[in-house]
Amino acid sequence: MRIITISREFGSGGRELGKRLSDTLGIPCYDHEIIDMVAEKHGLDKNYVSHVSEKDIRVFYPSTIGHRFLTNQSALQQPVKIAAAQQEMIRQLALQGDCVIVGRCADVLCRDMNPLNIFVYADRLSKLQRCENRADESEHYSEKEMFRKMKQIDKERATYRELFTEDKWGRKECYHLCINTSGKEIKNLVPAVAAYVNAWFGQD
Amino acid sequence: MRIITISREFGSGGRELGKRLSDTLGIPCYDHEIIDMVAEKHGLDKNYVSHVSEKDIRVFYPSTIGHRFLTNQSALQQPVKIAAAQQEMIRQLALQGDCVIVGRCADVLCRDMNPLNIFVYADRLSKLQRCENRADESEHYSEKEMFRKMKQIDKERATYRELFTEDKWGRKECYHLCINTSGKEIKNLVPAVAAYVNAWFGQD
């Protein structure tokens, strides 16, 4: 079974790489779709699920239950349940067969399924450029604001990862393959990554 | 032109990967050979060239000329000349055509030739295992001694790199592709790396 997980720095093009890679390999890619599936299965609002899934959910975790200002315990437990539902969904999807999973600590959650774990990164300027290229016209960030946003989102990803493992987010030691997309068009990198993936699973 | 440079942690199998990759691609691999060529060209002893090329040559560098115990200036300048000769040799070899170059900061020295720069690494136990497997029968290192040796050699490589660039040795940001060989047989990774290389240069 070919499970490929993509972890990535914000702006590195990891999401695009995952999507294009799955197209090339002819297998599904799970990214935002996971949110939608969890929301649908549990009858919840997609935006709400997305919010609690992608932000630092440690603040919601049971250790906060004893907080003296706590008044609504069930409201705090809900995010924990959603996180658990997302984890379950990721494992279920992976068990269904070959796929690419972007983010969400799938590398850790699916460790027993021998995934190929890829980390995608780039230098600051390349990431800035990519963010600017894909920004909506309504979004107006200064360069400084964008760098701050990049840093903040990566920090949230690192923090989220800490819930599952002691392996540090972004440390090359935690992945099988690390790909630098600086100055590269993602679509031009895909054939190389696809070739690597095919050869990797061909002999495993 | 396909220039592939391999930087690597001691014991990670990077040298073997470089050699096998060059065989698969049908192009030369330069590793120890560079030492031999420099020695031959300059009429020097191979062991001597190897020693000053692979150790921390900063101690030999001109900044030490003012040292108050200095008595033999030419003896100190010789290693600097050898380092320069090695750099020149690396660039000459790269300019001759497609090749794999292992170590020796070739990634930095050949930057203007658009090489594909690979870093090879592994976890401590995998590196220990690999070192033990390839050790001569005459070598008897305890586990602790071997870990110390691994650390020391990587430190020398990092220090050597500092002579050429501010990019830090082993930081994933300094390479295009980082390959984790933990628990893998190098020969089984080669098809994937070769496929990546071919696709990389195919579209560049």
Q: Could you give the CA distance from residue B15 to residue B17 in angstroms, rounded to a whole number?
A: 5
Q: B173, A121: Cβ pair inside 8 Å?
A: yes
Average pLDDT over residues A7-31: 96
Give the closest-approach CA distance of A46 to chain B in angstroms: 35
**In this model, does residue A80 exceed pLDDT 90?**
no
Q: What is the pLDDT of residues B2-26, one digit of tens each?
A: 999 999 999 999 999 999 999 999 9
User: Per the domain annotation, does A154 fall within a domain?
Assistant: yes
CA–CA distance, A109 with A94 (Å, rounded to integer): 10
Q: How confident is the model at residue A70, as a pLDDT?
A: 46
- Residue from the list A119, A191, A203 with its beta carbon closest to the beta carbon of B199: A191
pLDDT beyond 70 at A196: yes
Beta-carbon pairs below 8 A across chains A and B: 66
Residue A81's pLDDT is 82
For residue A178, list chain B residues with Cβ-Cβ distance below 8 A: 172, 177-178
Is residue A121 one of the residues assigned to a domain?
yes
Alpha helices in B26-97 (DSSP H): 32-42, 46-54, 73-96
**ipTM (interface pTM):** 0.86
pLDDT higher than threshold 60 for residue A54: yes
**Residue A45 gets which letter from DSSP?**
-
Q: What is the mean pLDDT of residues A119-143?
A: 87
- Which residues on chain A are in Cβ contact (under 8 Å) with B173? 121, 123, 180
Backbone angles phi, psi at B138, to 5 degrees: -75, -15
Instruction: Name the residue among A119, A173, A195 with its Cβ closest to that of B196.
Output: A195
What is the token pair recorded at A23?
Answer: 């197209």
Q: How far is A179 from chain B (nearest CA, A)?
A: 5
Asked if residue A145 has pLDDT above 80, the reply is yes
How many domains is chain A partitioned into structurally? 1
pLDDT confidence tier of residue A74, bands split at 50, 70 and 90: low
Q: Tell me the three-class secondary structure of B54-72, residue by residue.
A: HCCHHHHCHHHHHCCCCCC
User: Strand locations in chain A, DSSP E?
Assistant: 3-8, 29-30, 99-102, 116-121, 177-180
- Per CB-CB distance under 8 Å, the chain A contacts of B194 are 199
Report the distance separating Cα A82 and Cα A44, nearest Å.
9
Residue at A203 is within a domain:
no
Domain that holds residue A40: 3-195
The reported pLDDT for the residue numbered B133 is: 86
Q: What is the pLDDT of residues B93-138, one digit of tens each?
A: 999 999 999 998 999 999 999 999 999 999 999 999 999 888 776 6
Q: Which residues, listed in sequence order, are joined to residue B5 by a DSSP beta bridge?
A: B101, B117
Q: Give the per-residue pLDDT at A58.
A: 54
Q: For residue B46, how many other CB atoms are within 10 A of its CB?
A: 14
Ordered DSSP codes for B103-161? STTHHHHTGGG-PEEEEEE--HHHHHHHHHHH--TT----HHHHHHHHHHHHHHHHHHH
What average pLDDT does range B173-189 have in this prediction? 95
Give the pLDDT mean for B26-41. 92
Query: Are B180 and A199 inside 8 Å of each other by CB?
Result: no
Give a yes or no: residue A60 inside a domain: yes
pLDDT at A55: 62
pLDDT at A134: 82
CB B201 within 8 A of CB B148: no
CB-nearest to B180 from A176, A188, A195 is: A176
H helix count then E strand count, chain A:
8, 5
The per-residue pLDDT for range A163-190, each reduced to its tens digit, is: 888 889 999 999 999 999 999 999 999 9
- Structure tokens given for A71: 């008044």
Could you report the per-residue pLDDT of B125-175, keeping only the tens digit for each? 999 999 988 877 667 788 899 999 999 999 989 988 888 888 899 999 999
Q: Greater confidence, A66 or A103? A: A103
Q: How far is A149 from chain B (nearest CA, A)?
A: 20
- Please state, in angstroms and rounded to a whole number, the distance separating the CA atoms of residues B83 and B54: 9
A177 closest CB neighbour out of B179, B195, B202? B179
**Contact assignment for B180 to A172 by CB distance below 8 Å:** yes
The pLDDT value recorded for residue A84 is 86
Which chain A residue has its CA at the smallest distance from B174's CA?
A180
Residue A21 lies in a domain: yes
- Predicted confidence (pLDDT) per residue in B42-87, tens digit: 888 888 888 776 665 555 554 444 444 445 555 557 777 888 888 9
Closest-CA distance, B178 to chain A, in angstroms, reads 5
Give backbone dihedrals phi and psi of A46, rounded to 5 degrees, phi first.
Answer: -60, -40
Tell me what the mean pLDDT of segment A124-145 comes to: 85
Instruction: Tell me the two tokens of residue B159.
Output: 């220090």
- Put simply, the answer to whether A202 touches B191 (Cβ < 8 Å) is yes
Q: Which residues of B touch A24 (CB under 8 A)?
A: none
Instruction: List, in sequence order, every residue forming a beta bridge with B8; answer none if it has no partner.
Output: B120
Highest-scoring range by mean pLDDT, A21-35, A149-163, B48-62:
A21-35
Residues of B in contact with A196 (CB under 8 A): 192-193, 195-196
Q: What is the CATH number of the domain that holds B148?
A: 3.40.50.300
B123 vs A173, A198, A199: nearest CB:
A173
